[in-house]
């Protein structure tokens, strides 16, 4: 717990040093507040008693009560200020957390997302770890404030007898031992819960996800998915109840250990009141203090439980932040590299796969070539593009793209940004300045100008449901993605993975003609299963089983009568039979 406590507070301090120190001091001052409240309760009862007996002056009593109330009001104002500072600190911690996580996830190798354990850590870091970090920060502040309160309580107990202080210190040690035993017994149950919790959240989210909603409805999946969800949910609840019963039993048992000495202390004070050693206000104050002490000792165990059981979520964030980033190419490597894209004996296996996605791939693309990349599913096309894009690195072999400074890409599952139409295009080249005329020009090129002109706010129309935007068809979204590609005039390489998958055949021909026309001296890589476009390419590369099985122009590959010729004839039959 100490290491986690130190990490959480160091992280918060780095996020906002002045706010952290201020928040900590305000929490520590709450111990003084407890001292004032206990003193006030004692004085009130005693003052009332002596007023009734006529042994105290009303003016003196009212004067002291006003001072006590002024102190209480002062601490109430401090509590309000403490909440304000704490909220600001939490926002600073959350901002730092999300910024660091976003920077890290944008820099790590792409194949980490293919690793089961790492993927789960990334998901936990995105959905749970920040919440746990904030909760632990709040709990640690509470813990820091409890220890000074225990000193205050120790002072009041010492007014009875030092043996009483020793007795309650012994009870505190018993609490600590029980808490340690409790955490050791329950930790394995928390590890068992995680897969069930992840499964039930997955099935639950299926019914409310826009992407899966249509299939969910027309396949009538409600009953089937709900059964799966309830099965995982019941398993999770069963384990959570085991932990809850164990926690509650031990905490209540520990509290019972406290009640007997508390009862004896109150009897002892009662006898002291009869003998004139204590005042009745002291009895009332000690009773309130013992209740607070019980609650504080219970809170310590609950804090320990939080730190122990939810530490795994914080560990997930810590491990994600330690993942290897995609390293930048050294300057001397750039100096040696040519302008061509070269792959030499490249081997790549996905982390959980039992076969090689690329198996000794050799590739040489000259600058300015327009290359069509085709092949069956799973032949290695997209994997090769990921290596060219430096999203991951090969298990072995050599990849040279070092001299290419800017690349524009349309991936098969392109992003539909929930932003304005203009912003959707700006995402293609965020560092460049575009006028409205530039944006309209790009929309005209991709055939969307007329559609956008009919929208209420033109290029400033929001898309998606984030801000009550409008929806585009898949084909219109794809045209917008192509406009995003064209928004970066400095790109030396274009990679288009199924760029016309959602377009009709006439629109597909228009887009390919457009891309060929605008490409200029750029190197362009087309990846598609639809082969009509390949006739225009300088070369066609046919991938099969992680290698290039065929390489040539359309006519040459038709004459070879190999994989490409077979694929082309099969597609041709759809149109001429």
CB 289 within 8 A of CB 38: yes
On the CB side of 465, how many CA atoms lie within 13 Å of its CA?
3
Helix (H, G, I), strand (E, B) or coil at 258: helix
Give the per-residue pLDDT at 179: 54
pLDDT one digit per residue (tens) for the chain, 577 residues: 788 888 899 999 999 999 999 999 998 888 788 888 888 888 888 888 888 888 878 888 888 889 989 998 998 898 899 999 999 999 999 999 999 999 898 888 887 888 888 888 888 888 888 999 999 999 999 988 888 888 888 888 888 878 777 777 777 666 666 555 555 555 555 667 777 777 888 778 777 666 676 676 666 777 777 888 888 888 888 877 877 776 666 666 666 666 777 787 888 889 888 888 888 888 988 888 888 887 887 788 778 777 877 888 888 898 999 887 765 444 334 434 567 888 999 999 988 788 899 999 999 998 889 999 998 888 889 889 888 888 888 889 988 876 677 888 888 788 888 889 999 999 888 888 889 999 999 999 888 999 999 988 999 999 887 778 888 888 888 889 889 988 988 888 999 888 877 777 788 888 888 888 888 888 999 998 778 778 888 999 999 999 999 999 999 999 999 999 998 888 877 655 5
Q: Is the dihedral of CA 203, 206, 208, 214 positive or negative?
A: negative
Give the per-residue pLDDT at 475: 84
Helix (H, G, I), strand (E, B) or coil at 415: coil
CB 109 within 8 A of CB 391: yes
Give the per-residue pLDDT at 275: 87
CB 497 within 8 A of CB 411: yes
Report yes or no on whether pTM surpasses 0.85.
no
Query: Can you tell me the distance from the alpha carbon of 119 to that of 110, in angstroms, rounded to the nearest whole number?
Result: 11
Query: Can you tell me the distance from the alpha carbon of 198 to that of 113, in angstroms, rounded to the nearest whole number?
Result: 17
Give the per-residue pLDDT at 12: 92
Give the per-residue pLDDT at 184: 52
**Vertex 311, ends 294 and 243: CA angle to 5°?**
60
Query: Can you tell me the distance from the alpha carbon of 529 to that of 110, in angstroms, rounded to the nearest whole number?
Result: 24
Give the per-residue pLDDT at 39: 86
Give the per-residue pLDDT at 246: 67
Q: Is the dihedral of CA 554, 558, 559, 560 positive or negative?
A: positive
Give the per-residue pLDDT at 324: 79
Give the per-residue pLDDT at 335: 39
Burial string for 432-442 (b: 16+ CB within 10 Å, else e) reads: eebeeeebbeb
Task: Give the neighbor-by-neighbor strand order of the sheet with 396-400.
Answer: 358-365, 341-348, 396-400
């Amino acid at each position: 717990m100490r290491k986690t406590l130190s990490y959480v507070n160091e992280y918060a301090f780095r996020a906002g040093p002045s706010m952290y120190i201020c928040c900590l001091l305000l929490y520590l001052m709450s111990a003084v507040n407890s001292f004032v409240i206990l003193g006030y309760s004692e004085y009130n009862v005693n003052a009332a008693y002596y007023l009734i007996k006529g042994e105290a002056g009303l003016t003196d009593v009212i004067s002291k009560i006003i001072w006590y109330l002024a102190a209480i009001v002062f601490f109430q104002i401090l509590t309000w200020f403490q909440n304000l500072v704490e909220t600001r600190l939490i926002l600073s911690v959350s901002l730092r957390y999300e910024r660091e996580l976003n920077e890290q996830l944008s820099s790590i190798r792409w194949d980490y997302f293919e690793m089961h354990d790492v993927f789960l850590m990334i998901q936990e870091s995105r959905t749970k770890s920040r919440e746990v970090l904030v909760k632990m920060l709040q709990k640690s502040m509470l813990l820091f404030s409890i220890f000074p309160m225990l000193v205050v309580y120790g002072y009041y107990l010492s007014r009875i007898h030092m043996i009483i202080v020793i007795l309650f210190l012994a009870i505190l040690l018993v609490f600590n031992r029980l808490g340690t035993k409790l955490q050791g017994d329950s930790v394995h149950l928390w590890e068992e819960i995680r897969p069930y919790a992840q499964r039930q959240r997955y099935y639950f989210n299926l019914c409310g996800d826009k992407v899966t909603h249509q299939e969910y409805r027309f396949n009538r999946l409600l009953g089937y998915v709900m059964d799966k969800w309830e099965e995982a949910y019941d398993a999770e609840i069963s384990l959570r109840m085991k932990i809850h019963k164990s926690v509650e039993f031990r905490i209540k048992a520990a509290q019972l250990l406290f009640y007997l000495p508390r009862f004896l202390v109150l009897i002892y004070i009662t006898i002291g009141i009869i003998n004139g050693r204590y005042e009745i206000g002291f009895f009332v104050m000690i009773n309130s203090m013992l209740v607070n002490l019980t609650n504080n000792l219970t809170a310590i165990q609950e804090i320990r439980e939080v730190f122990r059981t939810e530490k795994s979520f914080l560990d997930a964030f810590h491990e994600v932040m330690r993942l290897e980033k995609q390293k930048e190419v050294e300057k001397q490597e750039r100096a040696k590299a040519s302008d061509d894209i070269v792959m030499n004996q490249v081997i790549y296996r996905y982390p959980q796969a039992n076969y090689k996605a690329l198996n000794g791939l050799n590739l040489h693309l000259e600058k300015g070539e327009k290359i069509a990349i085709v092949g069956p599913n799973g032949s290695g096309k997209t994997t090769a593009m990921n290596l060219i894009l430096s999203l991951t690195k090969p298990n072995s072999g050599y990849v040279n793209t070092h001299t290419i400074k800017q690349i524009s890409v349309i991936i098969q599952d392109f992003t539909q940004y929930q932003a304005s139409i203009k912003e959707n295009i700006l995402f293609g080249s965020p560092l460049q300045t575009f006028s409205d005329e530039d944006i309209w020009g790009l929309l005209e090129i991709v055939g969307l100008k007329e559609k956008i002109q009919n929208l209420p706010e033109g290029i400033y129309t929001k898309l998606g449901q984030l801000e009550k935007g409008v929806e585009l068809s898949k084909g219109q979204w794809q045209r917008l993605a192509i406009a995003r590609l064209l928004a970066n005039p400095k790109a030396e390489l274009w990679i288009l993975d199924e760029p016309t998958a959602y377009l009709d055949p006439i629109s597909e021909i228009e887009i390919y003609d457009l891309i060929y026309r605008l490409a200029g001296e750029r190197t362009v890589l087309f990846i598609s299963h639809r082969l009509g476009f390949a006739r225009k390419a300088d070369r066609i590369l046919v991938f099969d089983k992680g290698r290039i099985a065929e390489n040539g122009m359309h006519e040459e590959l038709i004459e070879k009568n190999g994989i490409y010729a077979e694929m082309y004839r099969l597609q041709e039959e759809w149109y001429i039979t």
